[in-house]
Amino acid sequence: GQQVMQIPQYQHVQEGEDFTTYCNSSTTLSNIQWYKQRPGGHPVFLIQLVKSGEVKKQKRLTFQFGEAKKNSSLHITATQTTDVGTYFCAGPRDSNYQLIWGAGTKLIIKP
């Protein structure tokens, strides 16, 4: 069935280092959404990408949607402690528009 894979599962970085998470879909997506979940919190919408090859920036966060609309990435420049959490990608299923979620990438800042 249709799947969304996300890697890595965890990423440990020193504060100030960059962070990247990758999302790959088994099928073309009409859009892809990114959510952030802080420890103990609930998923919060970050952004939606719709167009092939789209790149969007939010301060230190850069989101990309692949040309084939099957993959996406989130890159954080110069991580800060406020970036800690799990980042999820999600895309609509072809058949019923239900969001299919990646397993998430947990960003951990090394002490």
Residues in contact with other proteins by the rule CB under 8 A: 30-31, 33, 41-45, 48, 88, 91-92, 96-99, 101-104, 106
Residue written as token pair 């800690």: 84
Nearer to other proteins, 42 or 59 (CB): 42
> To the nearest whole angstrom, how small is the minimum distance from the Cβ of residue 17 to other proteins?
23
Task: Name the amino acid, one letter, at 5.
Answer: M
Nearer to other proteins, 11 or 16 (CB): 11
Nearer to other proteins, 47 or 77 (CB): 47
Q: Where would I find the H helices in the chain?
A: none
Rounded to the nearest angstrom, the gap between the alpha carbon of residue 17 and the centroid of all alpha carbons in its chain is 18
Write the CA distances from 71 to 50, 51, 108, integer angstroms: 12, 12, 23
